[in-house]
Structure 1
Amino acid sequence: MTLDIEALRDRTARAVGTSEAAASRVPHPETVIVGTLATDDATDGLCAEAGKPLLEDAPLRAIPELDHDPLSTLEFGEGREYNFFGWVDSTCVGTLLAVVSLMRNGEIEVRLLKPAALPPPNAPPDRRPGFALFHLARRDEGCGF
């Protein structure tokens, strides 16, 4: 996962009304994409049948409309500096809801929720609703693969 920290900082400042963008109410669509997500599960993940990872440099799109909604004030437990919601497109299961938590210790938590209609009995995993939690640690030397 990569995050555009400057875009995220600007987005946070606009959410609390301290940036020039917030003062002028000028939209900045380039700050909606705050990073990319990638997974290394092409051989054993939900999209393995297609030979693809679940996420492949997928743009993480923040949902600016939630900045001033009560949902943006939800608390997800201690140790979180900032939480936000975003959309991310999978290579095989459509759009996922991402709940991103920037932790005080420098780590990042990403929760992915996949909505789906009520599946028939014995439906394969890619046809069922889903949830995933990723704990990520900051590495200055790159992702390692």
Structure 2
Amino acid sequence: MALWVLVAVVLAPLPVRAQAGSDPAPLQFTDTVEERRFHALVAELRCVMCQNQSLADSDAQIAHDLRREVLELMQSGRSDDEIKDFLVARYGEFVLYRPAFQANTWLLWIAPLLVLLAGGAAVAVAVRRRGARPVPEDEGQEW
């Protein structure tokens, strides 16, 4: 029994030493044009795990894998639109920072305009109400 306790005490700290996965080898680009295209493309794609970071900014392991996959797709001759379509088919429209204007995304595109119009209307109403009230005259002040 004491042997099992000793083994458990010795082996218990081992998972603490585990580290997050990292990108084992840097990406290899054929030229600077491909590198610029790659960086522009991954900046337009959202990390499916982080959700608030682009694929370029995320340090999640899936982001490392997706960056490698994007580069492989680029090097196999696919266009940016084909790569985006591939990722959308796999992960949904969420992977795009700028999804296409469709029946299921119209509110996403129109909402900022609606909020701006509502704010402008609120300001206009407030200004009109303030302008409609007469300013009381104060005879007790000396100027």
TM class by shorter chain equals: under 0.3
TM-score by length of 2: 0.24
Q: Which has the higher helix share?
A: 2
Q: Which has the larger radius of gyration?
A: 2
More strand by share: 1
Q: TM-score, normalised by structure 1?
A: 0.23
